Amino acid sequence: MSQAAARFRDEVVSGNWPVGERIPTETALVEEFGIGRNTVREALQSLVHAGLLRRDQGRGTYVISTSELTGTLERQLAGGSRRHYLELRLALDTTAAALAAVRRSEDQVALLRELCERRAESWSTLDVDARAHADLALHRAVVDATHNPLYITLYSSMLDVFAVHMRDDESEDEEAAHGRHRELVEAIADRDADRAVAAVAAIFDPFMG
């Protein structure tokens, strides 16, 4: 990666250029970083190819991810069926639950309980994106409780992919679904890996038919 691209990547990863926001114009970047316009253009294009930025004709360049892995995974996983994604999530979430039950901290248990209740509250709205976000926030927190940085990076990079395939998920009994998520959290709190794994299986079972 060129020096200019590395500097721009740092702006993205650090959050100075937030996800969803338009980055400064090429002219502004030339002035701010003291580099040539062609160098700026090539550096930005390399980040577009890496999946961090997106160019919108006539509107500018926007940050779409803080991780090159996200864009790579989205391209590699494109075209998979919904069942394929569910099977992948089941495998990842099962292992994470077992590890979290052994390694979680008391602060993480408190956070899991809070996120579990937020998830339940999100279902009082018809906002499918809010539901997906609340659900994935809880499952991401379970992965955080594994204290495995590689697992956390991989799972976090797949959240956007998972969110797309969650928008059509509708449980026939939402109260039962919330109960299964509470069981997952309490199994982790009790350091019961077997119960945690069983809870994950129960969460995904309604969608695997």
Q: What is the pLDDT of residues 146-156, one digit of tens each?
A: 999 889 888 87
pLDDT digits (tens, 9 = 90+) for 108-144: 999 999 999 999 999 888 888 788 888 989 999 999 9
With tokens 């309604």, the residue in question is: 206
pTM listed for this prediction: 0.68
Can you give the pLDDT at residue 78?
A: 62
Q: Which residue has the higher pLDDT, 112 or 5?
A: 112
* Residue where one domain finishes, among candidates 66, 83, 104: 66
pLDDT digits (tens, 9 = 90+) for 164-184: 666 555 555 788 889 999 999
With tokens 């006539």, the residue in question is: 58
Residues in the chain: 209
Residues 60 and 159 in one domain: no
For the domain that residue 42 is a member of, what is the CATH number? 1.10.10.10
Residues 90 and 192 in one domain: yes
Residues 93 and 10 in one domain: no
* Residue where one domain finishes, among candidates 66, 93, 118: 66
Residues 118 and 196 in one domain: yes
Residues 135 and 180 in one domain: yes
Residues 61 and 77 in one domain: no
Burial readout 86-99 (b: 16 or more C-beta within 10 A, e: otherwise): bebbbebbbbbbbb
Q: Is the pLDDT of residue 76 over 70?
A: no
DSSP 125: S
Residue 59 is part of which domain span?
3-66
* Residue where one domain finishes, among candidates 14, 41, 66: 66
Residues 61 and 24 in one domain: yes
Residues 121 and 149 in one domain: yes
Residues 111 and 14 in one domain: no
Residues 172 and 124 in one domain: yes
Distance in angstroms (rounded) separating the CA atoms of residues 133 and 139: 10
DSSP class per residue in 10-42: HHHHHTSS-TTSBPPPHHHHHHHHT--HHHHHH
* Total tally of structural domains belonging to the chain: 2
Residues 129 and 170 in one domain: yes
